[in-house]
Amino acid sequence: MQAGVLERAAGHFRTPSLWALLPLCAVYGLAVITAPEDAVQGVIQKILYVHPACAFAAYLGFGLTALGGALYLWREDEQYDRLALASAEVGVVFCTLVILTGPIWARGTWGRFWSWDPRLTVTLLLWFIYLAYLLLRGFTEGSARAARFAAVYGIAGVLAIPLNYFAIDLFGGRAIHPENLGRGSLGAGMGLPFALGLVTALLAFFHLLARRLELEGLRARNAFAEAETQHEPARAEGPWPT
C-alpha cells in the first residue's frame, strides 16, 4: 500500500516546519512580552495575541475535516479520511484553547467568566461538534463505515456553523467581543505580536497536522502489512475443477 500524496507532503513538511516553528515561537514570545500593556485592560489583554489565532486554527481545522470528508465520499480514497481525522484531532485542541482563553480574558477585563457572547458561543458549539465527531468515529464499528459516517457529520457540521453564527448573532447573547479587529482597534505596537500569533498558530496547526497525518498513514500501512502476513488457510483435498 502506497503512502498517499498527502502523507508524502506531510512527511516533507514535518521537519522544516519544526525548524521554523521553534525560532518563530521565541520571536513571538518576545513580541508578546515586550508589547505595550493596554491602558485599560492591563496585561490580561495580551491574550489577544493568542485567543483569535487559536480560533482561526480551530475553524480552519473543522473546515479541513469537512473537506477531507467530502473528498473521501467523492473519491473513496482513504487518505482523505485520514486527513479529516488528523485535522479534527488537531483542531479540537486549538478549539479547547479558545474556550479556555476566552473566559480568562473575560474574567480579567469584564469580571465574569462567561457571558454567552455570540462568537464564543458559536465556538463552544463548534467544540461540541468536534467532540461529537470524534465520538462518532470512535464508536462506529468498521473503518469504512466510520469514515463514511464521519464524513457525513463533518459536512453537516460545517454547514451548521455559519447557521449557528447567524442565529446566535440575531438573538443570542450580548456581544462583548471587540467588534472591530482590524488595524484600527489595535493600538501602536500591537500589530506585530498579533500577526506573529496568527502565523505561529497556523504553522503549529499545520505542523501538528502533518505529524498526525504521517502517523495515521503509518498506522494504516502497518495494519495492511500485518493482514498480508497471515498464514494461508489449509486447502481441502478434492477433485480439481473440471
Partner 1 sequence: MNVLLAVLWKDLISEWRTRDRIVSMLLFSVLVVVVFHFALPEDASQLLKTGAAGLLWIAYVFASVLGLNRAFALELENEALSGLALAPADRGWIFLGKSLANTLLLFLVQAVTAFVFALTFNVSLTAVVPQFAVVMALGALGLSSIGTLFAAVAVRTRYREVMLPLLLLPVMIPVLLGAVRASAALLERGTLPAPALRLLIVADLTFLIVSFVLFEYVLDE
Partner 2 sequence: MTDAAIAARGLEKRFGPVAALRGIDLDVPTATTLAVLGPNGAGKSTLLRLMAGLARPTAGSLRVGNPKEDRRRTRGRVGYLGHASFLYPALTARENLLFAARLYGVIDARRRAAELLETQGLAAVADRPAGGFSRGMAQRLAIARGLSHDPSIVLLDEPYTGLDRVAADALTKQLAALHAAGRTLVLVTHELSRASELAQRAVVLARGRVVYAAQGPGLVLPSLEQAYLASVESAA
Phi, psi of 7 (to 5 degrees): -70, -35
Piece in contact with partner 2 (CB under 8 A), picked from 57-65, 104-112, 122-130, 138-146: 138-146
231 binds partner 2 per the rule CB under 8 A: no
Q: How far apart are CA 198 and CA 24, in angstroms?
A: 11
Q: How far apart are CA 121 and CA 134, in angstroms?
A: 20
Q: How far apart are CA 106 and CA 238, in angstroms?
A: 78
How far is the first Cα of the chain from the last one, in angstroms, to the nearest whole number? 36
Residue of 55, 59, 79 whose CA lies nearest to 157: 59
**Which of 39, 170, 188, 234 contacts partner 2 by CB under 8 A?**
234
| Interaction pattern, residues 38-77, with partner 1; x per rule: CB under 8 A | -----------------------------------x----
238 binds, among partner 2, partner 1, none (CB under 5 to 8 A by kind): partner 2
| CB hemisphere CA count around 92 (13 angstroms) | 15
225 binds, among partner 2, partner 1, none (CB under 5 to 8 A by kind): none
Q: Toward partner 2, which CB reaches closer, 78 or 169?
A: 78
Long-range contacts, 144-150 (Cβ 8 Å, 24+): 147/72, 147/78, 147/81, 147/84, 148/72, 148/73, 150/69, 150/81, 150/84, 150/85
| Interaction pattern, residues 207-226, with partner 2; x per rule: CB under 8 A | ----------------x--x
Q: Across the strands, what pairs with 42? A: 38
The C-alpha angle 129, 87, 96, rounded to 5 degrees, equals 50
Binding residue count for partner 2, defined by CB under 8 A: 16
168 binds, among partner 2, partner 1, none (CB under 5 to 8 A by kind): partner 1
| Interaction pattern, residues 144-183, with partner 2; x per rule: CB under 8 A | x---------------------------------------
175 binds partner 1 per the rule CB under 8 A: no
Q: Toward partner 2, which CB reaches closer, 100 or 144?
A: 144
**Which of 30, 43, 163, 225 contacts partner 1 by CB under 8 A?**
163
Residue of 94, 90, 85, 93 whose CA lies nearest to 216: 85
149 binds partner 1 per the rule CB under 8 A: yes
List interacting residues with partner 1 (CB under 8 A): 73, 125-126, 128-129, 131-132, 135-136, 139-142, 144-145, 148-149, 151-153, 155-157, 159-160, 163-164, 166-168, 170-172
